[in-house]
Amino acid sequence: MASKRVAVIGASGYGGLQTLRLLDQHPGLEVSFLGGERSSGKRWSELVPFLPLPGDPLVQSPDPAAIAAAADLVVLSLPNGLAAQMVPALLERGLRVVDLSADYRYRSLEQWKEVYASEAREVPRSDDQLCGQAVYGLPEWHAEAIRGAKLVAAPGCFPTASLLGLLPFLQQGLIESQGIVIDAKTGASGGGRAAKEHLLLAEASEAVAPYGVVGHRHTSEIEQAASQAAGQAIQLQFTPHLMPMVRGLLATIYCRLRDPGLRAEDCRVLLEAAYRHAPCIEVLPVGTYPSTKWVRQTNRALLSVQVDERTGQLIVMAAIDNLVKGQAGQGVQCLNLMAGLEATSGLPLLPFYP
Amino acid sequence: MASKRVAVIGASGYGGLQTLRLLDQHPGLEVSFLGGERSSGKRWSELVPFLPLPGDPLVQSPDPAAIAAAADLVVLSLPNGLAAQMVPALLERGLRVVDLSADYRYRSLEQWKEVYASEAREVPRSDDQLCGQAVYGLPEWHAEAIRGAKLVAAPGCFPTASLLGLLPFLQQGLIESQGIVIDAKTGASGGGRAAKEHLLLAEASEAVAPYGVVGHRHTSEIEQAASQAAGQAIQLQFTPHLMPMVRGLLATIYCRLRDPGLRAEDCRVLLEAAYRHAPCIEVLPVGTYPSTKWVRQTNRALLSVQVDERTGQLIVMAAIDNLVKGQAGQGVQCLNLMAGLEATSGLPLLPFYP
Amino acid sequence: MASKRVAVIGASGYGGLQTLRLLDQHPGLEVSFLGGERSSGKRWSELVPFLPLPGDPLVQSPDPAAIAAAADLVVLSLPNGLAAQMVPALLERGLRVVDLSADYRYRSLEQWKEVYASEAREVPRSDDQLCGQAVYGLPEWHAEAIRGAKLVAAPGCFPTASLLGLLPFLQQGLIESQGIVIDAKTGASGGGRAAKEHLLLAEASEAVAPYGVVGHRHTSEIEQAASQAAGQAIQLQFTPHLMPMVRGLLATIYCRLRDPGLRAEDCRVLLEAAYRHAPCIEVLPVGTYPSTKWVRQTNRALLSVQVDERTGQLIVMAAIDNLVKGQAGQGVQCLNLMAGLEATSGLPLLPFYP
Amino acid sequence: MASKRVAVIGASGYGGLQTLRLLDQHPGLEVSFLGGERSSGKRWSELVPFLPLPGDPLVQSPDPAAIAAAADLVVLSLPNGLAAQMVPALLERGLRVVDLSADYRYRSLEQWKEVYASEAREVPRSDDQLCGQAVYGLPEWHAEAIRGAKLVAAPGCFPTASLLGLLPFLQQGLIESQGIVIDAKTGASGGGRAAKEHLLLAEASEAVAPYGVVGHRHTSEIEQAASQAAGQAIQLQFTPHLMPMVRGLLATIYCRLRDPGLRAEDCRVLLEAAYRHAPCIEVLPVGTYPSTKWVRQTNRALLSVQVDERTGQLIVMAAIDNLVKGQAGQGVQCLNLMAGLEATSGLPLLPFYP
């Protein structure tokens, strides 16, 4: 079977770089178009000397017609607000799109405008219908819809780790809907490749700090998916922390069991069952806690649970690589499903340790 | 006024090294005895070429009589269980002791034996009375008792950060006693200087992971002090995480306000008032969140609060240097009080940034 | 073609872990035996929860007969001195061996005994003949011999990077044989997985220091290969430095050009020609300098040259991943050749950046 | 004696931050003016919440008359080219200046224009006379001149470490003037606080790479001082490398002994003698090699020597903190001398380890 042709737009950011690396030697997908606004016209090797690509392609201006001529599928790795400028034209030309930005993660344009108010002020959008049609690209929960989707909005690192840990318990109604706390820890690459003072090594190394406390944008995205799974409105506490490391994301989730008799092993079995057919999820034995290092540069999510029988609290821990399962690997997993391939095609699942 | 003479026992571990560094050029305390079991008889410079001490003293066997001849005050920086082997003999000789271990942090020997069961099996102890007399060495809450104490049990990094953040709210009855979550993040030096595989740079760098989930030893210590402040039994969730950095500790504390009308600014004012006379505590403006880097190598604790008006949750953040305010600096702060000096004598409060 | 069966002895150290990771999904080699002395009898997942292997095999005692029954090829990842205890018995049973230790890297047992004197005192050896027969496993220089070898002594990280940079110039007689300086920088994983104080994150992070200045063991190994290529005895300066990072090795090599008219571009062309058929070597354009990050977790070596026309000095820079091209990947590259496969089979050549 | 009043211009960069931290509680100097172009009019605490200063001063526009009214001494921590715009006006008003930039490090304006060609194009300068009068602010070699100087050009981290190691041997004529190699390793804070992609934690962590190979600007500055000490023109090889850490600088210097009979201990004694009266320099025993961690956040330089008797090479190692002895601490050391204080007043010499 011939490989599907994939266009990667926004190739030299971290999302793009990971996508290209994952598609190199992919058994069923091949990169046929490299798009970038600022870097258009340049040879790839000039921009990125450390990731030689076959034929050293030119980066091209992301013109929809040119993309449509070269590709079947498109991955957009662009800043929030910019993807929405391209998606309608790409869909019109029959392309199928995986968007790594937040532009289509909400079911309504209105909600996006509320949460991404600054982007909304700069970018006129009226594609409310597309927002409603886009599929939320979390393959462990929406594989069937992704397979047939034209537009997939792949969730980023924080919602991915948080939801993989929470959804099974919410869906089964095993935890209280109030008082859920997600304390999340992310590596500095989550802030992207654009230079920012607070992400300098000199600033971010030997430092741990919270940010966006109360009201971080991803709170509403997590709540949207959590509410859908629970069948009721969920409001929760999400607090991200910046870690002094390049990659990796850990979500430590605290919630209260409805049935105080449940033990950690029961909860583990439930997780195991929920993800029985999810090849990228591994549930650890009770008492083994996930390290972000164990999933570094893989598309795997590691989950673990513990229960405090004194307090009735359930603690769910989820570790992923923020740039793979939390971004580009998720995108490739979606592409795989859209192309009729195995979900894990071309995706590394084992780490190079240490 | 002549300086008080201080013996430092266990000098080449991290607690000892920090203590010696802080006492170098201290205006009212001077090191007069260096004690160590394994290293006794060696010149200090052989053991620690990077911290030259005046006169390059010999490390001596920690014999109580010799210590009493040389010193007025003693800092013990020894593994749990070993301090209790020395303390009675030191007190008998009129020495006043600051113990950096956990041996006297519980009000009863029985509770210590329960929590430190493995140490208790190896070390016979019957000093229940001393446990009852020892003062818990958190100067911001027990300064008066510390001033007059013969034996001070200085709390370590996790309880210090957690309690500094929690106690004002518990004491005022402003938060619910149930459902308190402390998500703590510590640098690798908290694990001490003895070689352990999981603390190797190759293992612990580029990694974030929880450990001791449910039932970590410090849970009970935090609960003891929290219950005392609240005037009722408190059970809470404490989860430590290992960070890929040398120093620093952040506690992110989640709890529920009793009065849903309280705003973040109200909570900040309350903290400010609680610590008005505490020169090592600084309360940040609402919206400014503490980084462990801001307190690196200082004896300062930075506190910040935020309130989620949707959920009624209060989030308290506390950052300290785990080896200074969380260990040796705390010990020196106690020594200062015991010696009738200013609490902050010789203690750095400003970081070298970055 | 059926896969060749490989036994990996010493599986839970860093060399073993990398080897297993590289052989997972290798197109022509499969792991058929996991050997370990201390861990024999345990399930793999108990030892290494983060690298699940198909069938979760038992670790077995490394008995030569059992290995011979299960495998065609053997990779030994053992401390210096221990490999030599096993190799004769393995060869006798017809197994072909890649040894990642230093035991067979010298052409004579006598020289090994001189350099590895402490090991030699503990381990009786009389296999001088095997030392003479063993092939030095640097595939870019000895591919033909490796293909037919029974025993391959794969060089480690320091000699690999140093020799890949130096040999072309020595062989062509373009540099002076005296005054060569190799200033090498290695990540902390090069020190292995056994717990040692100086490799703790708290000690090795935020620190750069030289070690083994003058007379480091690898000096003689590098000199042996350099002398052979130059056709004359070479004595050089090799100084390793420990870097605050997990993986990666950079050798900065300073030497003097014989012909002062040579420019950097000439030297680049020479390197390019020397490695024309070496798929794991990439020569960078003049003015682009290699970062260890660019080869992280790959089997690639990046080389770059610069010439100071004022001083007549040539500077050669070589970056590799110390655990892949500098250890386990090198071993797999040798296995590939021995098994009649492409040199790069199963070996990653592109990094996940960042 | 009343404290001398110091103006710090460029206060929120790393040089300024260190200077302010060092002058906090300095026994003989006090900060009386905070100057900054972009931040003028702001409260200090708005800019730098983590370094509270007494009275929370306003940052002021660096007007020479205002500075002269407020201060006796000035520290300029500005980008290259900008200091020269202010210095003449400051000197005219009788202020004495320590400049942390490169503007006055060369004895002639012409040479500065050659090396700092891009700055020279943007900034018109005709202060050749001042270049000739400025004192090179390396207190271990020019203390007397610094004491009386009106304008001191304090050398930065690379020249400081390199020259402290080299000068004693050059001055005594003990090493050959040709073939000197300086392989230098610096922490990322050396690149300053302005956001640059290659200094992001995600880019610079887990990475070691050379830069500026051949012709780095500091080569000529080191050569100028080396030639002066040697009494003959010195051309040497200087290669900086970026390390994955915040602070610290190590220079490993390779050179050839003129007298092949000299041993390491001889060279150590020579260094010891050269720096007998230099309180910030410590010469380590032969066989003990300096770690940058041993001088972290101190104004100390650690030196060590080793000799390879086979090759006749001398290896000198010098470790400093790039922002203290390599920048702001050096500046304060110069201020101390200019103010008639002890060279080490207010300067930390012992590290907080680890």
DSSP letters of A78-121? --TTTHHHHHHHHHHTT-EEEE-SSTTSSSSHHHHHHHTHHHHH
Q: How confident is the model at residue B2 (pLDDT cuts 50, 70, 90)?
A: confident
Amino acid (1-letter code) at residue B131: C
- To the nearest 10°, the Cα dihedral for B45, B49, B54, B56? 10
* Per-residue DSSP letter, C285: P
- A194: nearest CA in chain D? D197
The answer to whether residues A224 and A310 belong to one domain is yes
Quick check: B247 and D354 CB within 8 A? yes
pTM flag (> 0.95): yes
**H/E/C letters for each residue in B221-250?**
HHHHHHHHHHCCCCCCEEEEEECCCCCCEE
In a domain, B14, yes or no: yes
pLDDT at position A2 is 83
C-alpha distance from B272 to closest chain A C-alpha (Å): 20
Chain D contacts of C214, Cβ < 8 Å?
A: 306-308, 315
Please spell the DSSP secondary structure of A140-200, one letter per residue.
Answer: HHHHHHHHH-SEEE---HHHHHHHHHHHHHHHTT-B-SS--EEEEEE-GGGG-SS--GGGB
Q: Is residue A123 part of a domain?
A: yes
Mutation choice for C interface testing from A50, A282, A332 by most C CBs within 10 A: A50
> Measured in Å, how far apart are chain C's first and last C-alpha atoms?
37
Does B169 lie in the same domain as B64? no
Identify which of B205, B239, B315 has the shortest CB distance to residue A214.
B315
pLDDT digits (tens, 9 = 90+) for C26-70: 999 999 999 998 889 999 999 999 999 999 999 999 999 999 999
Minimal CA separation from B192 to chain C, in Å: 9
> Exposed/middle/buried for C70, CB within 10 Å: 0-12, 13-18, 19+?
middle
Residue C342 lies in a domain: no
Nearest chain D residue to B18, by CA = D352
In a shared domain, residues D9 and D117: yes
For position A41, which CATH number holds?
Answer: 3.40.50.720
Shortest distance between the Cα of C41 and any Cα of chain A, in A, equals 20
Q: Which chain D residue has the Cα nearest residue A191?
A: D202
Strand spans (E) along D48-175: 73-76, 96-99, 135-136, 151-153
The overall average pLDDT reported for chain C is 97
Q: Which amino acid is at A198?
A: H
Residues with Cβ within 8 Å of residue C122, at least 6 apart in sequence: C81
Q: How many CB atoms lie within 10 A of CB C222?
A: 25
| Residue C79 to residues C218, C246, C320, D29, Cα–Cα distance (Å) | 15, 20, 22, 57
CA distance linking residue C140 with residue C132, whole number of Å: 20
Exactly one of A157, A255, A280, A334 is catalytic; which is it? A157
> Chain A residue with minimal CA distance to D187?
A202
Q: Looking at beta carbons, which residues of chain D come within 8 Å of B352?
A: 18, 21, 297, 323-324
Residues B188 and B71 in one domain: no
Residues D123 and D167 grouped into a single domain: no
Report how far apart, in Å, the C-alpha atoms of C313 and of each of C253, C286, D234 are. Answer: 10, 15, 14
Query: What end-to-end distance do the CA atoms of chain A give, in Å?
Result: 37
Residue D216's CATH number? 3.30.360.10
| Sequence-distant (≥ 6) Cβ neighbours of residue C339 within 8 angstroms | C4, C28, C29, C72, C73
Q: Which residues of B touch D (CB under 8 A)?
A: 14, 17-18, 21, 24, 48-52, 189, 193, 205-206, 246-247, 282, 284-285, 288, 291, 293-294, 297, 302, 323-324, 350-354
Residue A311 to residue B178, Cβ atoms within 8 A: yes
Residue at a domain's end among A66, A100, A133: A133
Measure CB to CB from residue B201 to each of C14, C194, C205 and give the nearest one: C205
Could you give the CA distance from residue C183 to residue D251 in angstroms, rounded to a whole number?
Answer: 11
With an 8 Å Cβ cutoff, the interface of chain D facing chain A consists of 14, 187-189, 191, 193-197, 199-206, 244-247
**Mutation site, C200, C296, C321, interface B, largest B CB count within 10 A:** C200
Decide if C98 contacts C156 (C-beta within 8 A). no
Helix (H) or strand (E) holding D306: strand D301-308
* Per-residue pLDDT, A235: 97
Please name the residue that has the structure tokens 């993989």. A164
The answer to whether B204 contacts C201, with C-beta atoms less than 8 Å apart, is: yes
Check whether A104 has a pLDDT greater than 80.
yes
- Token pair 């505490």 is at which residue? B278
Contact D276, D168 (CB under 8 A): no
- Test B191 with C205 for CB contact under 8 angstroms: no
Binned at pLDDT 50, 70 and 90, residue A1 comes out as low
Q: Is A279 exposed, middle or buried (0-12, 13-18, 19+ CB in 10 A)?
A: middle
Please state, in angstroms and rounded to a whole number, the distance separating the CA atoms of residues A117 and A123: 10
Residue A313 with chain B: CB contacts under 8 Å? 179, 181, 237
Which residues in chain D touch residue C181, judged by CB atoms under 8 angstroms apart? 181, 183, 254, 313
Residue D157 annotated as catalytic: yes
- Contact (CB<8Å) B247/A211: no
Per-residue pLDDT at A195 exceeds 80 = yes
Q: Which residues of D touch A199 (CB under 8 A)?
A: 195, 200-202
Distance from CA of A294 to the nearest CA of C (A): 5
Q: Strand D181-186 and strand C73-76: pairing? A: unpaired
Retrieve residue D4's tokens: 């001398």
Q: Per the CB < 8 Å rule, is C248 touching D215?
A: no
pLDDT, average across residues A190-219? 97
Confidence (pLDDT) at B38? 87
**pLDDT of the residue at C315:** 98
Pairs of CB atoms within 8 A across B/C: 70
The reply to whether residue D191 touches residue A197, judged by beta carbons under 8 angstroms, is no
Residues on chain D touching B351 (C-beta within 8 angstroms): 21, 50-51
Instruction: Clarify whether residues C125 and C187 are in a common domain.
Output: no
* Residues C200, C293 within the same domain: yes
Predicted local distance difference test score (pLDDT) of residue D1: 65
Asked if D210 and C250 come within 8 Å (Cβ–Cβ), the reply is yes
Strands (E), B36-109: 73-76, 96-99
Q: What is the pLDDT of residues B164-202, one digit of tens each?
A: 999 999 999 999 999 999 999 999 999 999 999 999 999
Query: How many angstroms away from the CA of C293 is the closest CA of chain B?
Result: 14
Strands A151-153 and A135-136, sheet pairing = parallel
Considering the domain architecture, whether residues A175 and A127 belong to the same structural domain is answered as no
Average pLDDT in the B291-319 region? 98
Same domain, D83 and D168: no
- Interface probe, candidates A189, A201, A245, chain D, greatest D C-beta count within 10 A: A201
Same domain, B298 and B189: yes
pLDDT of residue C1: 65
- B touches which chains (3+ CB pairs under 8 A)? A, C, D
Looking at beta carbons, which residues of chain A come within 8 Å of C50? 291, 293-294, 302, 351, 353
Phi first, then psi: what are they for B31, rounded to 5°? -80, 125
Residue A336, in any domain of the structure: no
Same domain, D96 and D181: no
Over the stretch A117-161, which tens digit does the pLDDT of each residue have? 999 999 999 999 999 999 999 999 999 999 999 999 999 999 999
CA gap C229, C74 in Å, rounded: 29
Strand boundaries in B117-169, DSSP class E: 135-136, 151-153
* pLDDT in the model for residue D43: 96
In degrees to the nearest 10, what's the CA dihedral of A287, A293, A298, A301?
30
- Using an 8 Å Cβ cutoff, are B168 and B203 in contact? no
pLDDT over 80 (residue C328): yes
Instruction: Please indicate whether, in this complex, the C-beta atoms of D291 and C207 are within 8 angstroms of each other.
Output: yes
Establish if B49 belongs to a structural domain.
yes
Task: Count helices and strands (H / E) in chain A.
Answer: 13, 13
Chain D residue closest to C287 (CA)?
A: D213
* Domain that residue C26 falls in: 4-133
Residues whose CB falls within 8 Å of the CB of residue A228, separated by 6 or more in sequence, listed in order: none
Q: Is residue C352 a part of any domain in this protein?
A: no
Are D350 and B52 inside 8 Å of each other by CB?
Answer: yes
**The last residue of a domain, from among A118, A133, A148:** A133
> Whole-angstrom Cα distance, residue D91 to residue C248?
50
Residues in B touching C188 (Cβ below 8 Å):
200-202, 205
**pLDDT of A230 over the 90 cut:** yes
CB contact under 8 A, B246 and C202: yes
Q: Which of C97, C117, C133 is the last residue of a domain?
A: C133
Distance from CA of B207 to the nearest CA of C (A): 11
Instruction: Give the contacts of B82 (CB within 8 A, at least 6 positions apart).
Output: B101, B123
Look at C50 and A354 and tell me if their CB atoms are within 8 Å: no
Residues 6+ apart with CB under 8 A from C294: A49, A50, C302, C319, C351, C353
CA–CA separation, C290 vs C297, rounded Å?
15
Average pLDDT over residues B68-88: 97
Distance from CA of B250 to the nearest CA of A (A): 7
B84 found inside a domain:
yes
Structure confidence at residue B1 (pLDDT): 65
Chain D partners within 8 Å of C352 (Cβ): none
Domain count, chain B: 2
DSSP state of A227: H
Calculate how close chain A gets to C328, using CA atoms only, in Å.
Answer: 11
The tens digit of pLDDT for each residue in B227-259 reads 999 999 999 999 999 999 999 999 999 999 999
For residues A180 and A254, state if they share a domain. yes
CB A110 within 8 A of CB A136: no
Reading the block at residue B45, the tokens are 């410079």
* Span between the terminal Cα atoms of chain B, in Å: 37
Q: What percent of chain B has pLDDT over 90?
A: 97
Kindly identify which residue of chain C lies nearest to residue D202, measuring between CA atoms: C354
- Per-residue tens of pLDDT for chain D, all 354 residues: 689 999 999 988 999 999 999 999 999 999 999 999 888 999 999 999 999 999 999 999 999 999 999 999 999 999 999 999 999 999 999 999 999 999 999 999 999 999 999 999 999 999 999 999 999 999 999 999 999 999 999 999 999 999 999 999 999 999 999 999 999 999 999 999 999 999 999 999 999 999 999 999 999 999 999 999 999 999 999 999 999 999 999 999 999 999 989 999 999 999 999 999 999 999 999 999 999 999 999 999 999 999 999 999 999 999 999 999 999 999 999 999 999 999 999 999 999 999
Per 3-state DSSP, what percentage of chain C is helix, strand, and coil (rounded to 5)?
35, 20, 45
Kindly state whether residue B100 falls inside one of the protein's structural domains: yes
* Chain C residue with minimum CA distance to A285: C49
Q: Is B303 strand, coil or helix?
A: strand
- Neighbour tally for D166: CB within 10 Å: 26
Lowest model confidence (mean pLDDT) among A110-114, C78-82, C192-196, D1-5: D1-5
